[in-house]
Amino acid sequence: MGLVKIGIVGGGKGGSSLYKTLKDIEQVEISMVCDILPNAPALILARQDGVATSLSLEELCAVPGLSLIIEATGKEEVRQRINLHKDRHTALLEAVGANLMMHIIEEKEQLSEMKRLKGELDAILNSVQEAIEFATSDGTIRFVNPSFSRVTGVSSKERIGQNIFEASPNGALARALRTHEPIFAHRSRVGGSDVEVVSNASPIVVDGRLEGAVVVFQPLTDIYKLMEQLQASNQVIDELKTRINQITTSMYTFDDILGSHPEFEKALDLAAKAAKSDSTVLISGESGTGKELFAHAIHAASQRRDKPFVKVNCAAIPETLLESEFFGHEKGAFTGALKTKLGKMELANGGTIFLDEIGDMNLHLQAKLLRVLQDMEFERVGGTQTIKVDVRIIAATNRMLKEMVKKGDFREDLYYRLNVVELRLPPLRKHKDDIPAYVHSLVLKFNRKFGKKVSGLTAQAEQLLLNYDWPGNVRELQNVIERAMVTVEEDIITRKHLLNLVEPPAAGESAPLGELMPLEEMEKRMVRLAVQRYGDSVEGKKKAAQTLNISLATLYNKLKIIT
């Protein structure tokens, strides 16, 4: 269809509303608008749009090719004049007819808009997972979406037309209609089905009048399923957190171990061989000789290097918890066991477990550990299921296990089971030749840490270190060098920086240990000596307290009095 060219006569209220409606219709071209008043509203609009305007009716009638003239003044006289001047092919539509036509156009537009909205709404309602039901104010059910039938098993055919006050009188929809109030998180069964649901319903009020209400609901099973999934995910997260906190990979390798004294080299060779096998290793040596360092290095050089390295300090775990620490526990196994917890054995699966201070493990647990070493099987505390693991054992002790076996404090069978490869680390006093190399590497390390440029030690200072007996071994040497590096202001460590650190305390406190002195004085000296030896760190203080056979808290109290 070609363009319908229209002229509008009359630019008042009627003319301008006609103008507005017609100008948006694609097939229509408004050729001209005329009125005797230059500022008639339709004329202003037309000018804004670039549409021709005129003050003369005759001029409008003369526009060539006009299909239609709409007379919007409602005046008989105007109609007659148009008839007189218009081309005989041009139709004339009077205001009444024009209004009717406009009304039809508007209705048609509204209808197509409603159709579009309905299409969109249908698509939404049909695609949502939640069930939706609508009822009018008298309770007649008018609409259910496909999810409604999926959730309840009741077809839309069955449901639509029923009355909600009979079908589901206690449901959220009926309540919203009764109370005119929204209803939230309402739990009920859908009438006509056995499905328990959680619903939200809202009344629909138009111009203050209740038109109906709509309910949206989900079956409880879906919500339970989600909750279960959430709980399961949380449990996995918790377990992973625990694992991450407890598992470390080995932090040191053989490259971090210094020492070339023949006796020390023997230990290194044996450790390197042990790393290639899967055998259990028992590392013995005084405190601070590097037992843990060796354990790390063995793991790092073994086939298991990419698997966990889990350390258990057998002396630090309270006896009552030792078993649960090792083997884990089931939820509710004892008061405080709020959830299932994996033990160190399970955490170390595939890797290495380092049993530090093994000599401090009680006999009951020794028996259990022996069984585990033999079968690599155990049960969690409070559990019945046998758990099988593949773990390499490295144990360490600074106690004379053999002596303990003789006294009956350590199981002989366990001792032999652990002692497959025995690695004895010599005390530092037995390989003092290595001291210069240790010192060199420590000076480099602390230069980096403290931002200093210390080049080394004077010969006298070095001699002082070589004369000392190093009861705390390499750890004590580390502490001494660290303290000296903190105090040194020059670029070389001299004897004076070390004196207080490696010699018995000066004047007043200098009585050799063979001499008698007040017990109180003796205690102070021992506390000082222990902290000097093991260092100021918490770990150092723990060891000092352990060696002095007092609790950490007591050690802190004594230090407060001394300083």
Ligand X SMILES: Nc1ncnc2c1ncn2[C@@H]1O[C@H](COP(=O)(O)OP(=O)(O)OP(=O)(O)O)[C@@H](O)[C@H]1O
Q: Which residues bind ligand X (CB under 6 A)?
A: 257-259, 285, 287-293, 356, 396, 398, 474-475, 478, 543
Residue 252 Cβ vs ligand X, minimum distance, rounded to whole Å: 7
Residue 500 Cβ vs ligand X, minimum distance, rounded to whole Å: 21
Residue 530 Cβ vs ligand X, minimum distance, rounded to whole Å: 12
Interatomic CA distance for residues 374 and 420, integer angstroms:
13
DSSP tag of 140: B
Residue closer to ligand X, measured from CB, 209 or 448: 448
Burial of 80 (0-12, 13-18, 19+ CB in 10 A): exposed
Interatomic CA distance for residues 39 and 62, integer angstroms:
22
Q: Which residues make Cβ contacts (< 8 Å) with residue 52, sequence separation at least 6?
A: 31, 32, 33, 46, 63
Residue 291 Cβ vs ligand X, minimum distance, rounded to whole Å: 3
Residue 390 Cβ vs ligand X, minimum distance, rounded to whole Å: 25
Residue 287 Cβ vs ligand X, minimum distance, rounded to whole Å: 3
Interatomic CA distance for residues 86 and 175, integer angstroms:
67
Interatomic CA distance for residues 409 and 389, integer angstroms:
28
Give the residue carrying structure tokens 């240790």. 438
Residue closer to ligand X, measured from CB, 227 or 400: 400
Residue 283 Cβ vs ligand X, minimum distance, rounded to whole Å: 8
Distance of CA 355 to the CA centre of its chain: 32
Interatomic CA distance for residues 90 and 94, integer angstroms:
13
b/e sequence 290-306, b meaning 16+ C-beta within 10 Å: bbbbbbbbbbbbbebbe
Distance of CA 192 to the CA centre of its chain: 44
Residue 502 Cβ vs ligand X, minimum distance, rounded to whole Å: 16
Residue closer to ligand X, measured from CB, 323 or 356: 356
Residue 405 Cβ vs ligand X, minimum distance, rounded to whole Å: 20
The residue of the chain with the least Cβ separation from ligand X equals 290
Residue closer to ligand X, measured from CB, 15 or 285: 285
Residue 368 Cβ vs ligand X, minimum distance, rounded to whole Å: 23
Residue closer to ligand X, measured from CB, 133 or 292: 292
Residue closer to ligand X, measured from CB, 285 or 328: 285
Residue closer to ligand X, measured from CB, 285 or 351: 285
Q: Are strands 392-397 and 281-284 parallel, antiparallel or unpaired?
A: parallel
Residue 279 Cβ vs ligand X, minimum distance, rounded to whole Å: 20
Residue closer to ligand X, measured from CB, 40 or 396: 396
DSSP tag of 420: T
Helix pair 552-562, 538-548: axis angle to 10 deg: 100
Give the residue carrying structure tokens 């041009």. 90
CA-to-CA dists, residue 119 to 105, 124, 131, 136, 400, angstroms: 21, 9, 19, 21, 87
Burial of 455 (0-12, 13-18, 19+ CB in 10 A): exposed
| Paired tokens of 378 | 């155990």
Residue closer to ligand X, measured from CB, 54 or 473: 473
User: Torsion-angle region of residue 225: left (phi > 0), alpha (psi -120 to 50) or beta?
Assistant: alpha
Residue closer to ligand X, measured from CB, 134 or 438: 438
Residue closer to ligand X, measured from CB, 16 or 250: 250
